[in-house]
């Protein structure tokens, strides 16, 4: 999840309307792999409100291999990013943008402009983990900690 994958955050409003945005860095922050911290865009007020509903998902997909993982749980911390978070965004987004550039040929300077104007750090308790890699096993539950 911290390799520079493409990251998408899923949220849901109190009335059940889904809304998604991008995350730009992620890391497992406990020894058991059940708490994950990610840095995401804070530009969409609806997504920010949805973080208060108690449900969030984080899906990461490797650009080169399509290996994908989805974590579902609940946010327990929403705060401004730390200096370490900002550094992780720089490193992981750079890895992601380099992979997209190699695969699709998008100019790197255009990819860097995708970063949001505002970011927020979120820590979530992971309650469910799924393999979302395309193929017949997509959607299968993964037992144990996030790797």
In whole angstroms, give the CA distance from residue 15 to residue 36.
26
Sequential pLDDT tens for the chain (147 residues): 888 999 999 999 999 999 999 999 999 998 887 999 999 999 999 999 999 887 999 999 999 999 999 999 999 999 999 999 999 999 999 999 999 999 999 999 999 999 999 999 999 999 999 989 889 888 989 876 555
In whole angstroms, give the CA distance from residue 65 to residue 77.
31
Burial class (CB in 10 A: 0-12, 13-18, 19+), 52: exposed
pTM: 0.92
């Amino acid at each position: 999840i911290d390799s520079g994958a493409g990251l998408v955050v899923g949220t849901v409003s109190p009335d059940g309307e889904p809304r998604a945005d991008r995350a730009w860095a992620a890391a497992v922050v406990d020894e058991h792999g059940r708490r994950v911290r990610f840095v995401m865009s804070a530009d969409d007020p609806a997504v920010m409100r949805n973080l208060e509903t108690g449900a969030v998902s984080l899906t990461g997909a490797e650009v080169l291999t399509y290996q994908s993982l989805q974590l579902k749980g609940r946010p327990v911390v929403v705060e401004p990013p730390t200096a370490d978070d900002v550094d992780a965004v720089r490193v992981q987004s750079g890895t992601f943008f380099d992979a997209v550039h190699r695969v699709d040929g998008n100019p790197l300077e255009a990819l860097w402009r995708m970063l949001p104007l505002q970011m927020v750090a979120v820590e979530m308790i992971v309650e469910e983990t799924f393999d979302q890699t395309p193929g017949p096993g997509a959607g299968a539950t993964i037992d144990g900690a996030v790797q």
